[in-house]
Amino acid sequence: MYPLRRNRRLRTNEAIRSLVRETIISPNDFLVPLFVVEGKGVKDEIPSMPNYFRYSLDLLENEVKELWKLGLKSVLLFVKVPDNLKDNQGKEALNPNGLMQRAIKTVKNACPDMLVMTDVALDPYSVYGHDGIIENGMIVNDATANFLAEMSLSHAKAGADFVAPSDMMDGRILTIREALENDGFINTGIMSYSAKYASAFYGPFRDALDSAPVDMIDIPKDKKTYQMDYANRKEAIKETEMDIDEGADIVMVKPGLCYLDIVREIKNAVDVPVAVYQVSGEYAMLKAAAEKGWLDHDAVMMEQITAIKRAGADVIVSYFAKDVVKILNR
């Protein structure tokens, strides 16, 4: 009771504050998303993601070496697929010499101990910009899940340590797990995007990969029949528990900041590591506000990352990873 308890004593100076700090950020917290394109010498800034780039394989090599030096030991790969290779089925995704498969090998050659996770979803390969195969104007579930299992297998064969299905089809974790087991890839992990919401915060990412749903008659305009309704909370627990039952090693909540209530609930409910994806729109918002001089970029970035970890994130997927770690290393 006051004045016996004066809470401000523990805030007197930075030494005591750091001594009693509950949440500490380290390079080990991060999984770094990387965008890969065809070509040579390409380092393309993404217009809606300032200071974030798409790399061709030769420059990807330098980038992962730099990440490794900074203490960032895990990457999540996304590919931008040339338009002429896109179709409804995503066939190019199975090409053993496709961009993703070569990207995996490039990272492993450059940094053999780097943990390589791959995005498993149809949208970058789909002419329609959807995460599933479309029949009669609908996203078909089971055929898509089967395809994603083949895609996962192809990534595992190329050397991926983890596959990360980001599509939200029902049952795909089990389908993928069985395919990996049956082919002997018993140590290939699955990080499931388990509570992934139909969010408007993915806009800049879709610019980066040119993967937005097309505006065509008979093609769904959005992803609301598979990604979750952002009004829902209990459903996130159900989705996550089902993915764990089906074999997910790591589960994920996405997006990050607006969904930290969900992160905490899931963290309390499950006993596997929980990843949080601070998505492209979250990155873009801070960059834009900082550019205008309205927010202190580094201070807000550290506050946001700390909030994500405090909410329960064991793994943080963030475009800020490098910026954060540079500050930590100062």
Residues in the chain, how many?
A: 330
* Beta carbon nearer to ligand PBG, 61 or 213: 213
DSSP string, 267-293: HHH-SS-EEEEE-HHHHHHHHHHHHTT
Q: Does 79 help bind ligand PBG (rule: CB under 6 A)?
A: no
Chain positions 270 to 299 lying near ligand PBG, rule: CB under 6 A, are 279-280
Q: Which residue has the tokens 């006993």?
A: 271
Active site includes 221?
no
Question: 317 with 278: CB under 8 angstroms?
Answer: yes
H or E element at residue 153: helix 141-158
From the candidates 86, 223, 254, 322, which is the catalytic residue? 254
Active site includes 43?
no
Choose, by CB under 6 A, the member of 123, 239, 243, 246 that binds ligand PBG: 123
CB of 210 to ligand PBG, least distance (A): 12
CB of 57 to ligand PBG, least distance (A): 20
* Beta carbon nearer to ligand PBG, 53 or 65: 53
Chain positions 139 to 198 lying near ligand PBG, rule: CB under 6 A, are 166-167
Closest C-alpha to 303, from 23, 48, 72: 23
- Provide the angle, in degrees to the nearest 10, between the axes of the packed helices 297-311 and 280-291: 150
* Beta carbon nearer to ligand PBG, 110 or 127: 127
Q: Which stretch binds ligand PBG (CB under 6 A): 60-68, 184-192, 201-209, 260-268?
A: 201-209
Q: How many CB atoms lie within 10 A of CB 137?
A: 10
CB of 109 to ligand PBG, least distance (A): 25
Measured CA to CA, the distance from residue 262 to residue 92 in angstroms comes to 35
The phi and psi torsions of 219 (rounded to 5 degrees) equal -115, 130
From the candidates 196, 223, 287, 322, which is the catalytic residue? 196
Q: Which stretch binds ligand PBG (CB under 6 A): 86-94, 98-106, 119-127, 263-271?
A: 119-127
Distances (CA, A) of 106 to 220, 262, 297: 36, 36, 32
Which residues are the active-site residues?
196, 254
Q: Which residues bind ligand PBG (CB under 6 A)?
A: 119, 121, 123, 131, 166-167, 202, 205-206, 223, 279-280
